[in-house]
Chains A and B, each alone.
Chain A
Amino acid sequence: DAGVTQSPTHLIKTRGQQVTLRCSPKSGHDTVSWYQQALGQGPQFIFQYYEEEERQRGNFPDRFSGHQFPNYSSELNVNALLLGDSALYLCASSKQGVGETQYFGPGTRLLVL
């Protein structure tokens, strides 16, 4: 049973560029959440997708956008990259429902130069 997968594992971009990160949820899961984790901090919620729609959103600008596909996989897009966007980006999958446990993928480490 494959767990949550993410690609790529590492990425280097320059300011102003755009990036797309990908996530495939754990088998049987239908909900994908994205988090940003800066060094020394806890993960910060970006948004959550269910049934191909953004269901909840954290305090992130519109430069951060996403998509969920019919097979439940998801993409996170970040436009006009800033140096401060450098972080570990985590995808977590779960079954839809209140209080459901979220399982994390290995993450994508993004460095913006």
Chain B
Amino acid sequence: QKEVEQNSGPLSVPEGAIASLNCTYSDRVSQSFFWYRQYSGKSPELIMSIYSNGDKEDGRFTAQLNKASQYVSLLIRDSQPSDSATYLCAAIFGNEKLTFGTGTRLTIIP
């Protein structure tokens, strides 16, 4: 069974600090990885996609992919209260369906 694993949290981070979210996956052939943000009662919203080893930055968000170690992470710099949400890691294994982790609940403390 191809899986995506996340620490469910909750993760609490002071406002202005860096929030670090981690995700591991089971299948070495995975090529496409995504981070979604989901506010309570809402649908997932795409934050970042990453396909190559290394870092990808978009504003306050940086995704990091390490295929050798089979993990992908999301860093949120200068965390804001509006970043409080559940963050879903997802991967596409080969040509198959998008598989999600259970999500990490992040709370930014003012």
A66 at interface by CB-CB < 8 Å: no
Chain A residue numbers with a CB within 8 Å of B96 are 56
Contact of A43 among B49, B51, B95, B100 (CB under 8 A): B100
Task: Scan residues 40-55 of chain A and give those whose CB is less than 8 A from a CB of chain B.
Answer: 40-45, 48
Does residue A107 face the partner (Cβ distance < 8 Å to B)? Answer: yes
Per the bound structure, the CA–CA distance linking A103 and B45 in Å amounts to 7
Q: Is A33 an interface residue (CB 8 A)?
A: yes
Which residues of A are found within 8 Å of B92, using beta-carbon distances?
A: 98-99
The answer to the question of B42 belonging to the interface, with a C-beta cut-off of 8 Å to chain A, is: yes
Contact call B44/A90, Cβ cutoff below 8 A: yes
Cβ distance B75 to chain A, nearest Cβ, rounded Å: 20
By secondary structure, the A interface counts as: loop
* Most chain B CB inside 10 Å of its own CB: which residue of A40, A42, A88, A103: A42
Please, which residue of chain B has its CB at the minimum distance from the CB of A47? B97
Q: Which of B32, B98, B103 has the most CB of A within 10 A?
A: B98
Kindly state the separation between the CA atoms of A62 and B92 in the bound complex, as whole angstroms: 24
Q: Tell me the count of chain B residues lying within 8 A, CB to CB, of chain A.
A: 24
Question: If the complex has contacts A90-B43, A104-B44, A105-B43, are A45 and B98 also in contact, measured as CB distance less than 8 A?
Answer: yes
**In-complex Cβ contact of A107 among B43, B88, B102 (8 A):** B43
Our pick among B4, B43, B90, B101 for the contact of A106 (Cβ within 8 Å) is: B43
Is A42's CB under 8 angstroms from B100's CB? Answer: yes
Contacts of A33 on B, CB cut-off 8 Å?
Answer: 97-98
- Contact flags B24-68 to A (C-beta < 8 A → 1, else 0): 000000011010100000111110010100000000000000000
> Which residues of A are at the interface with B, using a C-beta cutoff of 8 A?
33, 40-45, 48, 56, 58, 88, 90, 92, 98-99, 101-107
